[in-house]
Structure 1
Amino acid sequence: MSTLTGTAELTVRVRDHLARRHPGAPIGELRPLPGGHSGLTYSVGAGEAGYVVKAVPSGQRPIGRNDVLRQARVLRALAGSAVPVPGVVAVDETQPAWFAMELVDGEAVEPVLDGPEVPAATARARMLGIASVLRRLHDTDVRTPGLDPPEPLDAAGELERWSRTMHAVPAELRPGAEELLARLADDAPDDIAAVLLHGDFRLGNVLCVADRAAAVIDWEIWSVGDPRIDLGWFLLFTDHRNFPGVGRAVPGLPTEAELLDAYLDGRPAPPALGWFRALGRMKMAAIMGHNLRRHREGRHHDPDQERLPPTIAAMIRTARDILG
């Protein structure tokens, strides 16, 4: 099935469902939402209501990041919980599958990386506020009905998975990576109790209105596993110096220590957090190296990727520093 044919069929299916949900209301066209890296994402209006539709690309299998039904499952499981998420209003398992969720007002801006600029005080308040959202996510019962969690993700498995991504990056783009991977493997910590993980938790994936978190979005890689996996990744985004060449200074952002205190809320800090902070940097270096390689191979033209080598090198270097 061609892309145009697949999009036309999806449009018919979505508009038919929304017409039944909003009888007599005008139903708009599906408009692609930019910025997504998995599946297909559209916005659509139905009368005064707005929705976001996520769908499996025509001709592709509903696995990994394209498994939109899996995303719908975690959103439905978290509905009404202490973790704000968009409400799911429709799920269609007929292939290619899709689901629709409420369009939540707000902006998802990563202060040190994204535009538009957010006032420094607002950025600080948001970052501290979502630290407590992450804590509430990790406090969610993984036996919540409908969640049907996958096998827990442990430190060793996470390291192995991202090591494969790193090894696919040309050696000249990842100086010092082999030493870093060896040190991470030698020092892998014992696991602690598994929790519900977002997988990419940061301000860029939380819709905010003023200082308030309105909805956590982009659940493509949610899982169950060691909470320090989420935490080590989240702490990475508070300092622009972690991203030389691409990051920008935002005065007043909380330090890693302040973010950790907001997350812990008086509880003891988990052990071996430094290892997970280093792991987060290794993952970022692997992701950036992968994106730069795709650009240079002509698979995804994006000249902006040429700004990444200094950040890749800094991620690897500072990860090694954290490990001692």
Structure 2
Amino acid sequence: MPRTHTPADADPQLAARVRAELGAGAAGPLTALEGGRSGLTYRIDAGGMPLVVKAVPPGREPVGRHDVLRQSHVLSALAGSGVPVPAVVARGDEAPAWFAMDFAQGTASEPVLEPSDTDHVLGRLRMLAAARVLGALHAVPVDRLVAGVVRAGGVPPEVAGPADELARWTRTMHAVPAGIRPGAAELLDRLAATVPEPAPPVLVHGDFRLGNLLCTGTTPTALVDWEIWGLGDPRVDLGWFGVFTDGALFPGVGGVVSGLPDEDELDDAYRAARGHDGGTAAGTTWFRALGRLKMAAIMGHNLRRHREGRHHDPVQEQLPPTIRALIGSAAALLDRDPS
């Protein structure tokens, strides 16, 4: 979603801590970068090389989406795995915690949220390349991943199954005023009544999409924004990724982009890259519906925060038609599901 504010440069005390840890080659301020809503993201030059620094916001506890060190642990664990991630070069545990990583080249864009009359072919090729990255990510052995997280100083999370994932987003949706989520209660009931058996667990990114994958041309260079990674069902990532194939799900905030692969095509590319099915063939429709529910819940949450004055962002007022479209599409998928 577009943002309506510009982030400020880092507090000088944080900048001094980062420069001290990085050594004599680090110079200049921590310059703010546009990014997500979790943590703070900056750029600093160290020995003539740019680095990206993520830090806990001042006054915030390092929990949930603000736990930047947790993000650094999974990045360290993925080093040498073949999954394109930036290398972690330094960490600071003292509050506010931070870590520094390589500055990856490339750009990230979400075609259906930033529709254009050009680059349809580029969007298609990038999405197929992203599906192959997801296959490689899910092919990383869980025991290797867990060992890497521990070596980096982290604590591996518990494995979450489909029921856990549904419960998580059910709580988020229930916090959204009923008037802006018509049909959500019925959708939640239907999903709860048909929860699939879990597939063998993998490393789940949690927000896997083109908007979080830097590319140069059609080549992925870095998968970023690891705020909600976990160990769980691979179909969670697949179902979420598929939401971004259809611009019709985003009326008012996006648009249809011709030529993008559909969800079946992405699944095929994913499985070819992973090398086996991984238990992802069953329950496909349920997870696609869950992905739509998740997006509707997130958008409803953001709109609620804006209307309550907790995060002023008038752009959020464009979301109600998309929330309705997502819930309606999820219900229609379940209506058509032969199982």
Deviation (angstroms), 1:35: 2.7
Is structure 2 residue 185 aligned with structure 1 residue 174? Answer: no
The question of 1:296 aligning with 2:298 is answered no
- Give the superposition deviation at 1:147: 2.0
Residue 198 of structure 2 is matched in structure 1 by 191
1:273 is matched with 284
Equivalent residues in 2 for 1:123-134 (5 A)? 123-134=123-134
2:235·2:287 contact (CA, 8 Å) conserved in 1?
A: yes
1:9 equivalent to 2:4? Answer no
2:66 match: 66
Provide, for residues 140-193 of structure 1, a one-character-per-residue CA deviation record: whole Å limited to 9, x for no partner: 111122224210011111111111110111110000011000000000111110
1:19 aligns with 2:26: no
Structure-1 separation of matches of 2:116 and 2:264: 26
For 1:108 and 1:250, the matched residues in 2 are separated by: 16
User: TM-score, normalising length from structure 1?
Assistant: 0.94
Matched, 1:315 2:326: yes
Would the aligned equivalents of 2:115 and 2:255 in 1 still touch at CA under 8 Å? no
The answer for the alignment partner of 1:305 in structure 2 is 316
Stretch of structure 1 that moved more, 9-18 or 186-195: 9-18
Matched, 1:238 2:245: yes
Q: Is the 8 A contact 1:189 1:275 kept in 2?
A: yes
Matches within 5 A, 1:132-171: 132-144=132-144, 145-148=147-150, 149-171=156-178
Instruction: After TM superposition, give the deviation of residue 123 of structure 1 in Å.
Output: 0.9
- RMSD over aligned CA atoms reads 1.8
Q: Does the CA-based 8 Å contact 2:115-2:257 persist in structure 1? A: no
* Secondary structure of the structure 2 residue equivalent to 1:207: strand
CA distance in 1, matches of 2:333, 2:241: 16
Query: Where do residues 96-107 of structure 1 align in structure 2 (5 Å cutoff)?
Result: 96-107=96-107
Q: Is the 8 A contact 1:106 1:209 kept in 2?
A: yes
- The Cα shift of 1:116 comes to 7.7
Shift of 1:117: 7.5
Q: How many residues align?
A: 317
Q: Is the 8 A contact 1:18 1:27 kept in 2?
A: no
Q: Which residue does the alignment assign to 2:4?
A: none
Indicate conservation of the 8 Å contact 1:199/1:219, yes or no.
yes
Shift of 1:52: 0.5
Whole-Å separation in 1 of the counterparts to 2:118 and 2:162:
34
Letter in 2 for 1:16: A
Match of 1:247 among 246, 251, 254: 254
SS at match of 1:100: strand
TM-score (norm 2): 0.90
